[in-house]
A = this chain, B = another copy of it.
Amino acid sequence: MNLFVALGASVLVSTAALAQTPTWSPPPESQRCPSKWGAQDERGSANHQKPAAVMNAAKLIKTGEVIEIGHVLSEKMPFFGTRRFDVHAKRTFMNQPSNRRGSNEEIVVSEIGQVGTQFDGFAHQTHENSWYNCYKVDENTTRTGFNKLGIHNVGALFTRGVLIDVAAFKEVETLPDTYEITVEDLEGALKKQNTTLQAGDAVLINTGWNKLWAKDNARYVKSCPGIGVKAAEWLIAKDPMLLGSDNWPVEVSPNPDPQLSLPVHQIALVVNGVHLLENLKLDELAQKQVYEFAFVLQPLKIQGGSGSTVAPIAVR
């Protein structure tokens, strides 16, 4: 952490705070630690991944149709900040024996884990120096990764998936650029779909935002519609395995409260230990009105990684 920035920040904030109290603040460690999964836990909501979750999902497989909900990875994707996905082809090396076997590969330079369709681990986000379950960043960070909460702890996820099509409920192709999805929107959409949430679900929210993917990248990352603090707390009360959406941060950005920076990231990843799944491609699911399905996700087992770029699927 850059303390200089940090100090500068607190000054700014205390000044701002005089004017107005933020609409949400991270709870003190005493109120969030140890997590409900135990003091040593590093997996959070992934602890829902048990044989029962698989069986519950498998019985939803009725036709064998696989629907891909991950985007293709290329330099044409929208990127957040300075992140990149650079592929440099390493062209044919010709092996000399008689069968004249040529071999190609590529070197990839990327914030793998935080580009494309991505699954956020708990080492990704903090409140001050504190992660999920109150592990400390400065005690567990090395030059080559994070000694606690690494994405390799999660393992594959195979559970019931639910699509909440808020765009369809609002009868729009795409929600407005900074629209905050409300609890009423979620309840209304679920009612319209005749879908109910269960503990351990992979809950995916369709905003229609993925229509901009690789078409208008500037607008895609400038803002986005999504859930805010209230909708996130309502969803997390349902005890999901993860929350995902077809936008870049799952949540609305910027937050309507100018004093808050992506608060749902803290509510999910830091306070409650619920994983996030970003930049999903949900148009096919929505168009086919697939609201309930077997959800399968295989994060790369990156030792100490903050997240993983992924290619999840819905199966029905």
A: which residues have CB within 8 A of B?
A: 1-6, 8-9, 12-13, 16-17, 22, 24-26, 49-55, 58, 61, 63-66, 68, 70-76, 82-84, 86-114, 116, 123-129, 136-147, 152, 155-156, 158, 258-263, 265-266, 296-307, 309-313, 315
Contacts and interface: CB of A to CB of B under 8 A. Distances in A.
Contacts of A55: 61, 63-64
Contacts of A127: 99-102
B3 A138 contact: yes
A34 to B, nearest CB: 19
Contacts of A261: 95-97, 99, 101
Given A82-B144, A92-B141, A158-B313, 12 more contacts: A2-B138, A2-B141, A5-B142, A13-B97, A22-B97, A68-B156, A92-B137, A99-B263, A101-B127, A101-B265, A103-B124, A108-B109
A297 B143 CA distance: 30
Contacts of A103: 124-126
Question: Which 3 A-B residue pairings sit nearest by Cβ, starting from the closest?
Answer: A51-B64, A54-B64, A102-B126
Nearest to A156: B313
Contact of A61 (B58, B91, B142, B156): B58
Contacts of A262: 95, 101
Contacts of A139: 2-4
- A58, A140, A307 interface centre (most CB from chain B within 10 Å): A58
A150 B107 CA distance: 15
